[in-house]
Amino acid sequence: MIGIRDFKVSIGRTGGWRLAACAAISLAAAATAYGKEYESGIKWVEPKIIESGAKCGDAPSDAIILFDGKDLSKWEGAEKWEIKDGYVIPHGHDIKTKDSFGDCQLHVEWATPSTVSGSGQGRGNSGVYLMEKYEVQVLDSYENKTYFDGQAGSIYKQKPPMVNCCRKPGEWQSYDIIFNAPKFGEGGRLVKPGYVTVLQNGVLVQNHTELLGSTFYDQPPHYEPGPPKGKLELQFHHNQVRFRNIWIREIPEPPVATEHASK
Ligand code: MG
């Protein structure tokens, strides 16, 4: 069937009255076929205009750049971390951002050592901690078996990734993480759990996964009530993991309607 758009294009190109008449008849027929256009009547506020990054993985204009390959001034405790050739290598202990974040979109690029040593949890281990409590595991999981809820892309000791899409040791990989922070009410009562979505190298590995609480090595997960925001943390785990191109966006408020048109 020829659609309304096809006829509009056709009229514009030829301009002939016969064709226009034909188009009018056909438009009427199409309108009958499609029915009256649905309009919600909601008057939305125009979404804010921002600039996307120039290429995939680049920060958009409203992102906070946490590490651009040159300095770690947005972090605390990073004195021993080694910046080199546009990336940074963990040394000494974990580092935390100076600012705190709640609901956010986070981009992190990482690579495990190209020279393989160790196995299981001892091979290319680091981690991205949301609010200092919820670890998205970083690990060399390329032909390196460990417990599944501790491999790369897992929510540590809570949920394995849906697939293992790890690249080879030494190759750069990315995490794009969407985090909805847990909400606590009076007396520290959990009102709403946290949720984490993770894309590793563009592949969905965690899909709105419900957090069961803080991630621990030596305890079952449980929530530790606290403020609505917390610092982002990168783990030092005695492995020469590299990080680069780290940026974060606080998730904007959802679109709002200014009014409902009367019907
Ligand atoms: Mg780790």
CA–centroid distance, 56 to ligand 1, in Å, is 26
Q: To which H or E segment does residue 7 belong?
A: helix 4-14
Q: Which two tokens stand for residue 200?
A: 């590793």
Structure confidence at residue 252 (pLDDT)? 82
What is the domain extent for residue 161? 64-250
**Mean pLDDT across 161-188:** 97
Structure confidence at residue 256 (pLDDT)? 84
Which residues are paired to 248 by β-bridges? 64, 106
> What whole-number distance in Å separates Cα of residue 161 and Cα of residue 148?
8
Is the per-residue pLDDT at 23 higher than 90? no
Residue 117 within any structural domain of the chain: yes
Residue 13 within any structural domain of the chain: no
CATH (domain of 229): 2.60.120.560
**Mean pLDDT across 165-177:** 98
Is the per-residue pLDDT at 159 higher than 70? yes
CA–centroid distance, 125 to ligand 1, in Å, is 5
pLDDT more than 90, % of the chain = 82
CA–centroid distance, 155 to ligand 1, in Å, is 10
Q: To which H or E segment does residue 244 belong?
A: strand 242-250
**Mean pLDDT across 111-131:** 96
Q: Residue 106: which residues within 8 A CB-CB, separation 6 or more?
A: 128, 130, 175, 176, 177, 178, 179, 232, 246, 247, 248, 249
Residue 58 within any structural domain of the chain: no
Residue 222 within any structural domain of the chain: yes
pLDDT band at residue 8 using 50, 70 and 90 as cut-offs: very low
CA–centroid distance, 92 to ligand 1, in Å, is 15
Residue 193 within any structural domain of the chain: yes
pLDDT band at residue 2 using 50, 70 and 90 as cut-offs: very low
When divided into structural domains, the chain yields a total of 1
Q: Residue 11: which residues within 8 A CB-CB, separation 6 or more?
A: 19, 20, 23
Structure confidence at residue 10 (pLDDT)? 44
Q: Which two tokens stand for residue 168?
A: 């080879």
Residue 226 within any structural domain of the chain: yes
CA–centroid distance, 218 to ligand 1, in Å, is 13
CA–centroid distance, 29 to ligand 1, in Å, is 62
pLDDT band at residue 15 using 50, 70 and 90 as cut-offs: very low
CA–centroid distance, 55 to ligand 1, in Å, is 29
Residue 157 within any structural domain of the chain: yes
Residue 120 within any structural domain of the chain: yes
Is the per-residue pLDDT at 95 higher than 60? yes
